[in-house]
Structure 1
Amino acid sequence: MKKLLFVLLGGSVFLTSCVDNPEGKKAETTDSVSTTQPVAGAGLAVDPAASSIAWLGNKVTGKHNGTIKISGGTLNVQDGKLTGGKFTIDMNSLSNLDITDTAYKAKLEGHLKSPDFFDVAKYPEANFEITSVTDSGSNKLKISGNLTLKGISKNITFDADVVESTPTSFKAKADFNINRHDWGITYPGQKDDAISQEINLKVDLQAKA
């Protein structure tokens, strides 16, 4: 009887630890890449009011989604094509959108900003710097860049769609997943198994002269 109970409990733990990741193609993730080479093209200022990052994470009992603000940056464009750039993410702006209860919403946001997750008091900003851009045709790009989050830099590669590209403006969108463990974002103890390892990010980036 004890052996049977152990097997049943073990199966229960296995089921609760297998949380489906959000829909989305996982970005290829490697070690950070040197960015010492100069970037060609004119610098366009990232427009924080027109740019945004939407996030989505799953858990055993459901999912949560929200936004993080882009505070500034520069994109380089030459002959109407993106050549490089970088932008800064304001981690203190992390917010939840799906919870209507004010107290519960504040509790979740505070927990995500705590040392258990993003530790925004110690790491108030995240940064992304483009290391290469490949034109895939049909207004599609493959972008690689160093994402620095919680003091850890990793190079990620993902697909992006160009919405607008002129000598004085550039707009693009990207939709991809990252594995939070790659940046040391883990919840202490077994409760980490109840949260999806991957986070979906939808980036809407706009820059202008």
Structure 2
Amino acid sequence: MKNLKAIALALTVVFSTLSVSAQTKKVDVSKSTINWVGKKVTGQHSGTVNIKAGTLIFKGDKLAGGTFTVDMTSLNTTDLSGESQGKLNGHLKSEDFFGTEKFPTATLVFKTVAAKAKNVYAITADLTIKGTKNLVAFDITVKGNTATTTFNVDRTKYDIKYGSGSFFDNLGDKAISDEFELAVALKF
């Protein structure tokens, strides 16, 4: 009889644990932002790129997953204006950089999510840019209906080598950093 009670209790715990189902929350793309910063020897440029679609997955109140599609054709420089802005935007969208005509979107898919501290999660994710997928790691903070993160991406891992001192000699003050920074603020 004790064994039956123990089994019944164990099954109750298992089924109550399983009943915490995943909840998918759609990212509000009109209120979410991605800001980027690219650095070079002589300074830096900054701008934005839009999220096309995204979801975060929760189990109870804990982050459990996420998938995002970024509209690379929306790539925009915000620290310049006029002709200079148009030229840099065009160059960033060209084959030298993101090749947005052939690769209009980039994707990010969470692979692992681990609680790190209250409201902070360590994420590993597959980031696909220009058809090339690499693993990235970053921390994300989730509070209420907002999630924020900042992380660096090594562009050379996605065959974006233009102006890279890692691949070209004698660039002098024309060298561009291999990494660019993304600051992401999601509303859902």
Answer whether TM exceeds 0.5 for this pair. yes
Q: 1:138 offset after TM fit, Å?
A: 2.3
Letter of the structure 2 residue corresponding to residue 42 of structure 1? Q
Secondary structure of the 1:63 match is strand
Letter of the structure 2 residue corresponding to residue 182 of structure 1? K
Q: 1:163 offset after TM fit, Å?
A: 2.4
Where does residue 91 of structure 1 map in the other structure?
72
Q: Which runs of 4+ in 1 moved over 4 A?
A: 188-193
How far apart are the structure 1 equivalents of 2:80 and 2:185?
23
Q: Deviations over 1:66-123 (max 9, x none)?
A: 00000112211111111112010000000011113x0010000000000010000000
Does residue 25 of structure 2 align to residue 44 of structure 1?
yes
Letter of the structure 1 residue corresponding to residue 138 of structure 2? F
Does residue 98 of structure 2 align to residue 118 of structure 1?
yes
Letter of the structure 1 residue corresponding to residue 143 of structure 2? V
Q: 1:185 offset after TM fit, Å?
A: 0.8
Instruction: Name which structure has the greater RCO, CA cutoff 8 Å, separation 6+.
Output: 1
TM-score by length of 2: 0.81
Does residue 188 of structure 2 align to residue 204 of structure 1?
no
Q: Deviations over 1:120-179 (max 9, x none)?
A: 000000000111111111221101111000100011111111222xxxxx4210011111
Where does residue 183 of structure 1 map in the other structure?
158
Secondary structure of the 2:162 match is coil
How far apart are the structure 2 equivalents of 1:154 and 1:177?
13
Match runs of 1:1-209 below 5 Å: 41-100=22-81, 102-164=82-144, 170-187=145-162, 190=169, 191=171, 194-207=175-188
Q: Which runs of 5 or more structure 2 residues have no equivalent in the other structure? A: 1-20
Larger radius of gyration: 2
Report the number of matched residues.
Answer: 162
How far apart are the structure 1 equivalents of 2:67 and 2:45?
28
Secondary structure of the 1:146 match is strand
Secondary structure of the 2:177 match is coil
Secondary structure of the 1:119 match is coil
Letter of the structure 2 residue corresponding to residue 63 of structure 1? Q
Secondary structure of the 1:196 match is strand
Secondary structure of the 1:136 match is strand
How far apart are the structure 1 equivalents of 2:128 and 2:157?
11
TM-score by length of 1: 0.74
How far apart are the structure 2 equivalents of 1:159 and 1:42?
21
How far apart are the structure 2 equivalents of 1:96 and 1:51?
17
Q: Which runs of 5 or more structure 1 residues have no equivalent in the other structure? A: 1-39, 165-169
How far apart are the structure 1 equivalents of 2:129 and 2:156?
11
Secondary structure of the 1:155 match is strand
